[in-house]
């Protein structure tokens, strides 16, 4: 039964493992399917967003085109009005300038008109000619003549205003009244004839009417010029607005082209082919660029090539620099050699020319033969000196051997003397002790004997000293003879 139980448990475990494995496979398949579904949904949403953006761009473009057409039509009307006003302004300006010229000509022709009077009367008449009545100031066509109301002195827009023709008629009547006051006989200076006075009044009336007409034309010309400038300003404003709209249209077209060309494509990239920073959990590839692998490989190849070119250029620069340093070194070497040659040349120039040098310079062969003869003589001399030296060396060696034998004999004698001396010292000391013991019992009979012993001892000491000095002299002589056995290298002076 236990075996059957274990068998059933193993079967159950295998069944559970197979079920778990199958469940895991199904779960992974579900995840992949959901991933694909979400990717497709994301594609659909992006397509809808791109369609909405495209529709919005088209709507904006249509609106901007409509505004451009409207502004162009307004600009055409403004341009036509400006051309028409310019034509009228030029014509009116010619009339105005002609009228001013005539007015100035009347001032110039005054003396010619009244040359039949005296100079004093002419001055009086000219002052009267320049005299003007007080005339109310003329106002423009757009200036209201109604009384002002309110606290701030602003004109009442609803008040009755006279027309322009009525204003001109009223101003002309005022001028006529003022001229009539000036033309009265009361103002005639004394001594001036009536015909001259009437002629002055007529001339002055023409002058004043002409000035009044010039003022009227000046006002009209100013208003026409203001109207023309206003049309120019309107035309410039419309031109700027059209340019702004066209710039907006161009920008909109660029945006539309960018949207149409810069398409978003969903791709599944393998690991290792993404070269962007993935700092967040969900990577954002909005600023990334999709590049073919061949482009990257070509870029890497170009980078390697440029690196190799740079390395080769650096090596070439290094070699070139090395060559420069080598040339500088050679240049310094040549400068030093040149300095050396200059020093040698100076030495040669300041060198004292002896007879031997002159002989060498005059006859080289004879000089060489002479030198060879001298060398042969020197060699023979050296051979002779060597033979003599060998003989002398053999003699000195013989003497040295004799001295060595003498030294050995003297050493033997000295050894014997030293031993005898030691024995005698012992004897002397013993006798001294005995003498000290027997000093009191000693008599004067032994003085001579002791004196003789002392003298004999003194002689022996002097003999030992003399023999020691003789040994030192013999040793010095042996050393000198030994040093003479070595060959001496003596420099031969020519």
**Mean of per-residue pLDDT scores for the chain:** 78
Per-residue pLDDT of 62-99, as tens digits, reads 999 999 999 889 888 888 888 888 888 888 888 888 77
Lowest mean pLDDT among 54-58, 283-287, 417-421: 283-287
Q: Please, which residues have CB within 8 angstroms of residue 400's CB and are 6 or more apart in sequence? A: 478, 481, 482
User: Which carries the bigger pLDDT value, residue 146 or residue 250?
Assistant: 250
Strands (DSSP E) found in 90-216: none
Does residue 341 carry a pLDDT above 50?
yes
97: tokens are 């300038």
Distance CA 114, CA 106 (A): 12
Distance CA 45, CA 52 (A): 10
Per-residue pLDDT of 322-334, as tens digits, reads 999 999 999 999 9
Helix axes 194-261, 119-130, angle to 10 degrees: 40
Per-residue pLDDT of 275-314, as tens digits, reads 666 666 566 667 777 777 788 889 889 999 999 999 999 9
**What are phi and psi for residue 148, nearest 5 degrees?**
-85, 145
Q: Please, which residues have CB within 8 angstroms of residue 53's CB and are 6 or more apart in sequence? A: 259
Distance CA 227, CA 83 (A): 12
CB-CB neighbours of 72 under 10 Å: 13
Residue 493, beta-bridge partner list: none
Instruction: Report percent pLDDT > 70 for the chain.
Output: 73
13: tokens are 């475990």
What is the per-residue pLDDT for 136? 54
Q: Which ranges of 262-292 would DSSP assign to H, the alpha helix?
A: none
Distance CA 209, CA 99 (A): 11
91: tokens are 């014509």
User: Of how many residues is the chain composed?
Assistant: 494
Distance CA 144, CA 157 (A): 9
Q: Please, which residues have CB within 8 angstroms of residue 218's CB and are 6 or more apart in sequence? A: 96
Distance CA 251, CA 238 (A): 20
What is the per-residue pLDDT for 335? 94
pLDDT-derived band at 189, boundaries 50, 70, 90: low
Distance CA 111, CA 119 (A): 10
0.75 exceeded by pTM: no
Per-residue pLDDT of 453-483, as tens digits, reads 888 888 888 888 888 888 888 888 888 887 7
CB contact at 8 A, 15 and 221: no
Distance CA 414, CA 468 (A): 9
**What are phi and psi for residue 155, nearest 5 degrees?**
-70, 145
- 44 SS3 class: helix
221: tokens are 């010309």
- DSSP per residue, 374-439: HHHHHHHHHHHHHHHHHHHHHHHHHHHHHHHHHHHHHHHHHHHHHHHHHHHHHHHHHHHHHHHHTT
Distance CA 122, CA 3 (A): 161
pLDDT-derived band at 188, boundaries 50, 70, 90: low
Does residue 161 carry a pLDDT above 60?
no
> Is residue 341 packed enough to be buried (19+ CB in 10 Å), middle (13-18) or exposed (0-12)?
exposed
Q: 138: closest CA among 227, 226, 228, 221?
A: 221
């Amino acid at each position: 039964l236990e075996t059957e139980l274990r068998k059933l448990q193993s079967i159950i475990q295998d069944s559970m493992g197979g079920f778990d494995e199958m469940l895991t496979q199904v779960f992974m398949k579900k995840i992949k399917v959901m991933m694909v579904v979400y990717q497709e949904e994301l594609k659909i949403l992006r397509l809808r967003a791109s369609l909405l953006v495209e529709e919005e761009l088209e709507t904006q473009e249509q609106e901007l085109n409509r505004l451009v057409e409207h502004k162009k039509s307004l600009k055409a009307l403004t341009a036509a009005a400006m051309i028409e006003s310019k034509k009228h302004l030029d014509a009116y300006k010619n009339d105005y300038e002609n009228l001013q010229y005539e007015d100035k000509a009347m001032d110039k022709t005054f003396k010619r008109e009244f040359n039949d009077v005296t100079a004093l009367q002419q001055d009086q008449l000219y002052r009267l000619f320049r005299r003007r009545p007080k005339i109310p100031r003329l106002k423009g066509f757009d200036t209201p003549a109604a009384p002002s109301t309110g606290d701030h002195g602003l004109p009442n827009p609803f008040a009755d205003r006279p027309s322009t023709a009525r204003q001109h008629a009223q101003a002309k009547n005022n001028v006529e009244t003022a001229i009539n006051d000036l033309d009265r006989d009361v103002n005639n200076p004394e001594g001036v004839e009536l015909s001259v006075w009437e002629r002055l009044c007529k001339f002055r009336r023409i002058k004043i009417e002409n000035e009044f007409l010039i003022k009227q034309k000046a006002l009209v010309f100013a208003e026409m010029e203001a109207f023309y400038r206003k049309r120019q300003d309107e035309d410039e404003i419309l031109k700027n607005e059209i340019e702004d709209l066209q710039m907006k249209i161009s920008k909109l077209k660029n945006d539309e082209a960018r949207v149409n060309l810069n398409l978003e494509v969903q791709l599944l990239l393998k690991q290792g082919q993404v070269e962007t920073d993935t700092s967040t959990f969900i990577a954002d590839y909005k600023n990334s660029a999709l590049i073919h692998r061949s482009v990257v490989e070509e870029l890497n190849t170009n980078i390697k090539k440029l690196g190799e070119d740079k390395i080769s250029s650096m090596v070439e620069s290094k070699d070139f620099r090395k060559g420069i340093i080598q040339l500088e070194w050679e240049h310094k070497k040549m400068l030093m050699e040149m300095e050396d040659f200059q020093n040698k040349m100076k030495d040669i120039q300041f060198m004292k020319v002896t007879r031997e040098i002159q002989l060498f310079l005059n006859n080289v062969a004879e000089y060489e033969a002479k030198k060879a003869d001298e060398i042969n003589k020197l060699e023979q001399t050296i051979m002779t000196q060597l033979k003599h030296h060998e003989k002398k060396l053999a003699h000195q060696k013989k003497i040295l051997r004799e001295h060595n034998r003498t030294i050995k004999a003297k050493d033997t004698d000295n050894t014997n003397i030293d031993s005898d001396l030691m024995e005698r010292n012992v004897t002397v000391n013993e006798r001294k002790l005995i003498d000290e013991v027997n000093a009191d019992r000693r008599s004067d009979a032994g003085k001579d004997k002791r004196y003789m012993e002392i003298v004999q001892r003194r002689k022996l000491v002097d003999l030992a000293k003399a023999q020691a000095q003789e040994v030192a002299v013999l040793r010095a002589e042996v050393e000198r003879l030994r040093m003479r056995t070595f060959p001496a290298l003596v420099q031969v002076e020519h």
